[in-house]
Amino acid sequence: MEKRKVLIVDDEPGVRESVRMVLKDQYDAVLASSGEEALEMLSDVQPDLVMLDVLMPGLDGLAVLERIKERDQRIPVLMLTATKTVKTAVTAMKLGAFDYVTKPFDVEELLILVERATRDAARNAELESLRWEVGRRYSPDNIIGHSPQMQKIFRTIGMVAPLKTTVLVTGESGTGKELIAKALHYQSPRAAKALVTLNCAAIPENLLESELFGHERGSFTDAVTKKLGQFELADQGTIFLDEIGELAPALQAKLLRVIEQGEFMRVGGKQAIHVDVRIIAATNRDLEQAMRDGTFRSDLYYRLNVVSLHLPPLRERPEDLPLLIKHFIATKSAQLGIREKHLSPEAVDALLRYSWPGNVREIENVIERILVLSDHEPIGLEDLPEQVRTGRVETSTIQQLVLRREKSLTDAVDDFEREIIRTALQHVEFNQTRAAELLGTTRRILKYRMDKLGIQSDD
């Protein structure tokens, strides 16, 4: 394993050599006799730690420290000081020095400080690399979608991500609302802070207030300790409130207070807690209808809906299907540790014809299933799930989506009509006049319904 590099800067040759001897077994020590020389060497050496004398002729330690920090804040600097200049070393700490050690050195103390400084710097560099990788992964450039609808969403993300603006993400279940929330967070100045995710529909109503805002010890029977809520944990970062439409009216009022005043109180608390949190909310419900029904506050809706991003279902962006199929074959093969498998033309056609009521989540699960269960190539039509193979969405599946409020009644009716028309068209080899007769309607009405439902005529 390559040794970490330490740049030792001191105008006294004896001190430089003493420190080098102490570090030589564990570190690669590089010596500089002045601040000017150290700054010239900095780019070539790229040290993991600089050990810097405070009192030197020419540029003193404080001036060199400032120059180092101007170039790269991440390089830790350990100040070397005589006892009489400890106050100066404390000033150096305020300028960004990692710590200071007094001459003459205690060898064990010196080694501990050097180990701690280089270890922390390595850990910070790793975290920075991970943040960069996460930010790259959740960049709009890496979200699958070349359709005009998705390109418009990506442009909006680019405009609003740097701001604290509240965003409301809408769309059916499985369209990727959480992925958009991550893109907004990791492309923002808050990327280094926490992204806290909470599904408002997954937590019982009587526990949700405590989960959101925390509670004080003894505030209710099971509150044996103080608990921090998700808003406190998200301070300086972002909170993603999924299924916001399921929030009870009392909690809607408290959430409104957080948005308007940036403060809340823990359950059982007596003191307001101030936080700086960006809020991203998501729902698959029609909140405007919920306002009319009186189940969702209009003032909260308008506070949340500063910027609205509506994710279209897959059936409305069929041009993205080939990209998603290719993407999930590659990523799932890598995750499963298997070779990528090819699909037969018949299997691809069936995947492209299917309406995908479960959207991106459903296509991801289907691709993983056929990769796991198929032991041959190419993967054929017979390897696909029945509903994909036949192009029919089970009525029970649609019913469950509607009853779980993951799909509106209007969308469910459209899906059902879409499948009937497609089946009729396939039955008569896409002759629209014959299909209209089969369905007991006119060709003009059939063409109108096809256009409305996004059904393309067969080539």
Extents of the domains making up the chain: 4-133, 140-312, 315-453
Report the C-alpha gap between 239 and 226 in whole angstroms. Answer: 21
Q: Identify the helix (H) or strand (E) that includes residue 16.
A: helix 13-23
Q: What are phi and psi of 431, to 5 degrees?
A: -85, 110
The model's pLDDT over 245-254, given as tens digits with 9 standing for 90+, comes to 999 999 999 9
pLDDT of residue 135: 55
pLDDT of residue 55: 84
Residue with the bigger pLDDT between 9 and 105: it is 9
At 226, the pLDDT band (50, 70, 90 cuts) reads: confident
Helix locations, 214-278, DSSP H: 230-233, 249-261
pLDDT of residue 278: 96
Per-residue pLDDT at 300 exceeds 80: yes
Torsion (CA) 380, 385, 386, 389 in degrees, nearest 10? -40
3-state class (DSSP) for residue 449: helix
Q: For strands 278-283 and 238-242, give the pairing.
A: parallel
Per-residue pLDDT at 307 exceeds 90: yes
**7 has which bridge partners?**
30, 50
Choice among 144-158, 253-267, 437-451 with the minimum mean pLDDT: 437-451
Q: Are 307 and 165 in contact (CB under 8 A)?
A: yes
Report the C-alpha gap between 4 and 1 in whole angstroms. Answer: 9
CATH number of the domain located at residue range(s) 4-133 in this protein: 3.40.50.2300
The model's pLDDT over 20-29, given as tens digits with 9 standing for 90+, comes to 898 888 898 8
pLDDT of residue 198: 94
Q: Could you tell me what percent of the chain has a pLDDT over 90? A: 34
Per-residue pLDDT at 234 exceeds 90: yes
Fold of 315-453: Helicase, Ruva Protein; domain 3 (1.10.8)
Which token pair is 379? Answer: 């993967």
Amino acid at 151: Q
- What's this model's pTM, rounded to 2 decimal places? 0.63
pLDDT of residue 398: 61
Q: Taking residues 150-174, what's their average pLDDT?
A: 93
Task: Give the C-alpha distances (Å, rounded to integers) separating 200 from 114, 220, 242, 274, 439.
Answer: 47, 21, 6, 22, 43
Residue with the bigger pLDDT between 108 and 403: it is 108
pLDDT of residue 225: 84
Looking up tokens 């529909």, which residue turns up? 201
Residue with the bigger pLDDT between 274 and 225: it is 274
Per-residue pLDDT at 181 exceeds 90: yes
Report the C-alpha gap between 165 and 167 in whole angstroms. Answer: 6
The model's pLDDT over 98-154, given as tens digits with 9 standing for 90+, comes to 888 888 888 888 898 999 888 888 887 776 666 556 556 666 667 888 889 999 999
Q: Quick one: DSSP state of residue 24? A: T
3-state class (DSSP) for residue 405: coil
Per-residue pLDDT at 457 exceeds 80: no
Q: In what order do the strands lie in the sheet with 307-310?
A: 195-199, 238-242, 278-283, 167-170, 307-310
Residue with the bigger pLDDT between 155 and 270: it is 155
Q: For strands 273-274 and 307-310, give the pairing.
A: unpaired
Which token pair is 449? Answer: 């319904």
Rounded mean pLDDT of the chain?
86
Amino acid at 418: R
pLDDT of residue 275: 93
Choice among 37-51, 78-92, 103-117, 252-266 with the minimum mean pLDDT: 78-92
Amino acid at 102: T
ω into 378 cis (within 30 of 0): yes
Q: Do domains 4-133 and 315-453 have the same CATH topology?
A: no
Report the C-alpha gap between 166 and 304 in whole angstroms. Answer: 6
CA atoms within 13 A on the CB side of 84: 1
Q: Taking residues 59-71, what's their average pLDDT?
A: 88
ω into 104 cis (within 30 of 0): yes
First to last CA, the chain: 62
Report the C-alpha gap between 233 and 237 in whole angstroms. Answer: 8
3-state class (DSSP) for residue 36: helix
Which token pair is 70? Answer: 């101007």
Q: Quick one: DSSP state of residue 452? A: H
Report the C-alpha gap between 277 and 257 in whole angstroms. Answer: 13
| DSSP labels, 46-103 | --SEEEEESS-SSS-HHHHHHHHHHH-TTS-EEEEEEGGGHHHHHHHHHTT--EEEEE
Q: Which residues, in sequence order, are CB contacts of 227 under 8 Å at separation 6+?
A: 210, 214, 215, 266
Q: Could you tell me what percent of the chain has a pLDDT over 70? A: 91
Question: What length is written for the chain?
Answer: 459
**308 has which bridge partners?**
168
Q: Are 191 and 243 in contact (CB under 8 A)?
A: no
CATH number of the domain located at residue range(s) 140-312 in this protein: 3.40.50.300
At 459, the pLDDT band (50, 70, 90 cuts) reads: very low
Per-residue pLDDT at 391 exceeds 80: no
